[in-house]
Structure 1
Amino acid sequence: MGNAIVRKMVDEDIDNILKIEEQCFATPWTRDAFDHELHDNPYALYYVIEIEGTIIGYCGLWLIIDEAHVTNIAILPSYRGKRLGNALFKAVLTHARQLGAIQLSLEVRVSNVVAQKMYRRFGLVPGGIRKNYYTDNHEDALVMWVKL
């Protein structure tokens, strides 16, 4: 796999991000949602991962005082299994630490064992269950935490 670059998301990335959303999620976010995150949410930081100029994934982070929360992370299905999600998540965690975060949390589908395994490699541990969290099928979310 060519050299992967992680950088901050910009407006010009949104069309590509929407394509990733369509391929990765049953209830994809809208353009308005990303516009809001990039321009109106002072706590939001969004990153993309690209290979040879092609955006293949992204990750959203909210940083409120010293707590970071991953809002979403996605890698195009055709690029999964190549440790690119790992590279993206590592870069986002590093940036959160640099910005003063002392802990990080996220929600993950209870059925998404692959993602849970990746998060555990970064030290995240289960902290609870959010019942019926996902609107598409009412699946529970596992809340995971880590001290940074």
Structure 2
Amino acid sequence: MEFNINIATLSHVDGICLINSLCFPIPWSRAAIENEIVNENSLYIVALKDNEVIGYAGTWLILDEGHITNIAVHPKFRSLGVGSYLLKELMEQCKDYAIHHMTLEVRASNTSAQNLYKKFGFTNEGIRKNYYSDNGEDAIIMWKYDI
């Protein structure tokens, strides 16, 4: 399947909001997404197929670290490599911002996401107990050093 990766702009907010609502039990508000896209300390990218947002990924840029906030793919386009490509491109883009390490939290039950991150060299480094407010689930803290 062919798709393009672009830096997210405000024109992509509708598509990001749709995916956000389909993928997360407590989706971010439209205003929060808009703020992230224009925040100079954030980097968001989108996967586009025929100008439709089919996935997105974002990270906060903190000194030499990237803190991945979200990676999400529209359910119709899962298992096609979109998430892998988004993560790979996000890591490449972060190098332009002198980011050397990346971290994230992922639900303890989300083994498919954990496996994606492990495929790219992320390792489990800790647990945040009761991290998710919707159900009290723990988060696995993952890190990748020297991207």
TM-score range, shorter chain: over 0.9
Residue 104 of structure 1 is matched in structure 2 by 102
1:78 maps to which residue?
76
The answer for the alignment partner of 1:24 in structure 2 is 23
Match of 1:145 among 136, 143, 146: 143
* SS of residue matched to 2:43: strand
Task: Note the C-alpha offset of 1:127.
Answer: 0.6
Alignment of 1:128-139 (within 5 A): 128-139=126-137
> Which of these residues, 86, 91, 94, is aligned with residue 92 of structure 2?
94
Aligned length: 146
- Aligned residue for 1:27, secondary structure, equals coil
Q: Residue 64 of structure 1: CA displacement?
A: 1.3
CA distance in 1, matches of 2:33, 2:114: 25
Matched residue SS, 1:38 = helix
Aligned to 1:116: 114
The Cα of 1:86 is off from its aligned counterpart by 0.2
2:113 alignment partner, SS class: helix
| Aligned-residue CA RMSD (Å) | 1.0
SS at match of 2:80: coil
Normalised by the length of structure 1, the TM-score is 0.95
- Give how far 1:98 is off: 2.6
State the Cα distance separating 1:32 from its structure 2 match.
0.9
Aligned to 1:52: 50
* Alpha-carbon offset, residue 38 of structure 1: 2.2
TM-score, length of structure 2 as denominator length: 0.95
Quote the offset at 1:69 in angstroms. Answer: 0.7
Q: Does the residue aligned with 2:117 lie in a helix, a strand or coil?
A: helix
Q: Identity over the aligned pairs, expressed in percent?
A: 40
Q: Unpaired runs of 5+ in structure 2?
A: none
Give the letter aligned to residue 34 of structure 2: D
